[in-house]
C-alpha cells in the first residue's frame, strides 16, 4: 500500500487520536504522501503495517517501522521504491494544472517523495489516485539521483526551514495549511529524518538507530550538518535525543512538548561550551556523542 493523504499518523494501537492532541503516546510516527507500507494484518478500519521507508533496528535486524494506519489513508501500490524527486521546501502545493493560478488540491510536506511523469511551464506532474495529474513547482523539488554526498550547507538550510515548527510527540511532518489531517510537527528524530531525506540521505526513524548509522567524530572536529546525540540519566536507550549541529556553539533542536524547533547553544542546554565538552567536561549529567553522516 501507499499513503494517499499528505500526512497520516502511524499509531501504536488501532485507535483514533484525540482531536488536536499534541502529546499522544499512541502516535509512534507519521507517514507522508506516497510512502510505501507493507501490510501485516487488517482489523476493522485499520491496517497493521511496516513503514518501509522508516527503518528500525530490531533483534532480527533492520525492518520497517511498525504501527497501525487507517485504511482510508492508504491505497494499493505496485511496491516500487524508486522515486523521481523529493520536496525540499517547507511544503509544496499540488495544483490541478501547471500554473500558480490553478486550484490548489493539497499541500505536501518537506521530505515527501514523488514519481514524476511529465513537465510543463516550470511544473512537474505526477499521477494521482484518481488518474488525474497533480502539479508541483519544479523549484520545490530536489530531483533524483542526488549528489553522492549532500552538502553540509544544504543540510543546515533545510533544517532551518523547521525553525518555529511545533514539537510533536511522534511527529514527522512540516506544519502545513491542511485542516483535515492530523496534528503536524516534528520530534527530535523526526526532524533529523526529514532533513536528511530531503537531501537524499536515508536515516532511520529513531534517535538511537540514527546514532548507530553515524560515524563517531570528536567534538572539536565536528562540522555543520553533523549530529549530536544525548543519553539522558536513567534512560534505558543508549541514545534518547538528537540535535543537528550548525556550527560554532549552536545546534537546531526539537526539544519537548509545548516548545517549538529552535536554535540553542551548548551552554544553554548543558551549562558547558563545546570547547568544554571537547576537554571531557560533564554535560549536566548527560552523555553527549557526535556523529557524522555525510
Q: What pairs with residue 135 in β-bridges?
A: 95, 125
State which H helix or E strand residue 276 sits in: helix 274-278
- With bands split at pLDDT 50, 70 and 90, how would you rate the model's confidence at 230? very high
pLDDT digits (tens, 9 = 90+) for 85-127: 999 999 999 999 999 999 999 999 999 999 999 999 999 999 9
Q: What is the pLDDT of residue 216?
A: 94
Per the listing, cell 511544473 goes with: 123
Contact 246, 257 (CB under 8 A): no
What is the CB-side half-sphere exposure of residue 69 using CA atoms within 13 A? 31
Tell me 149's DSSP state.
Answer: S
Q: What is the pLDDT of residue 280?
A: 67
**3-state SS, residue 114:** strand
Least confident of 35-39, 157-161, 202-206, 219-223: 219-223
Quick one: which of 114, 89, 90 has its CA closest to 35?
114
Non-local CB neighbours of 50 within 8 Å, separated by 6+ positions: 37, 38, 40, 63, 64, 65, 66
Contact 165, 186 (CB under 8 A): yes
Dihedral sign, Cα of residue 69, residue 75, residue 77, residue 82: negative
Terminal-to-terminal C-alpha distance of the chain: 31
State which H helix or E strand residue 275 sits in: helix 274-278
Average per-residue pLDDT for the chain: 92
Residue 165, number of CB atoms within 10 A of its CB: 21
**Dmax (CA) of the chain:** 60
d(CA 190, CA 29): 8
d(CA 139, CA 124): 9
- Please give the domain boundaries of the chain with CATH numbers for all domains: 2-77 (2.30.30), 85-143 (2.30.30.40), 188-292 (3.90.1720.10)
Q: What is the pLDDT of residue 24?
A: 92
Has residue 147 got a pLDDT over 60?
A: no
Average pLDDT of the segment spanning 22-49: 96
Q: Residue 101: is it exposed, middle or buried by C-beta count within 10 angstroms (0-12/13-18/19+)?
A: exposed
pTM: 0.94
**H helical segments located in 122-231:** 152-160, 188-198, 207-212
Determine if residue 189 is left, alpha or beta; phi over 0 gives left, psi from -120 to 50 gives alpha, anything else beta: alpha
Contact 155, 244 (CB under 8 A): yes
pLDDT digits (tens, 9 = 90+) for 163-180: 999 999 999 999 999 988
Chain length of the chain:
294
Numbers of helices and strands, H then E, in the chain: 5, 21
Amino acid at each position: 500500500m501507499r499513503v494517499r493523504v499528505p500526512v497520516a499518523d502511524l499509531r501504536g494501537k488501532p485507535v483514533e487520536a484525540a482531536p488536536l492532541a499534541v502529546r499522544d503516546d499512541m502516535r509512534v510516527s507519521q507517514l507522508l504522501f506516497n510512502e510505501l507500507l507493507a501490510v501485516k494484518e487488517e482489523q476493522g478500519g485499520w491496517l497493521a503495517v511496516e513503514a518501509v521507508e522508516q527503518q528500525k533496528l530490531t533483534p532480527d535486524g533492520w525492518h520497517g517501522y511498525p504501527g497501525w494506519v487507517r485504511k482510508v489513508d492508504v491505497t494499493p501500490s505496485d511496491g516500487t521504491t524508486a522515486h523521481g524527486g523529493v520536496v525540499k521546501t517547507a511544503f509544496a502545493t499540488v495544483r490541478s494544472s501547471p500554473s500558480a493560478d490553478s486550484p490548489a488540491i493539497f499541500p505536501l510536506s518537506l521530505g515527501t517523495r514523488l514519481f514524476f511523469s511529465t513537465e510543463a511551464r516550470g511544473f512537474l506532474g505526477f499521477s494521482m489516485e484518481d488518474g488525474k495529474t497533480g502539479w508541483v513547482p519544479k523549484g520545490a523539488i530536489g530531483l533524483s539521483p542526488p549528489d553522492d554526498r549532500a552538502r553540509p550547507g544544504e543540510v543546515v538550510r533545510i533544517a532551518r526551514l523547521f525553525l518555529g515548527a511545533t514539537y510533536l510527540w511522534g511527529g514527522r511532518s512540516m506544519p502545513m495549511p491542511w485542516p483535515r489531517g492530523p496534528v503536524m510537527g516534528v520530534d527530535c528524530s523526526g526532524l533529523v529524518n526529514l532533513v536528511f531525506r530531503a537531501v537524499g540521505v536515508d536515516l532511520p526513524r529513531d534517535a538511537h538507530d540514527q546514532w548507530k548509522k553515524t560515524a563517531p567524530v570528536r567534538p572539536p572536529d565536528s562540522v555543520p550538518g553533523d549530529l549530536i546525540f544525548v543519553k539522558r540519566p536513567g534512560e534505558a536507550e543508549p541514545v534518547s535525543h538528537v540535535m543537528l549541529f550548525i556550527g560554532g556553539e549552536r545546534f537546531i533542536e526539537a526539544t519537548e512538548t509545548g516548545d517549538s524547533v529552535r536554535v540553542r547553544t551548548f551552554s544553554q542546554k548543558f551549562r558547558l561550551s563545546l570547547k568544554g565538552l571537547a576537554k571531557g567536561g560533564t554535560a549536566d549529567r548527560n552523555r553527549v556523542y557526535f556523529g557524522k553522516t555525510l
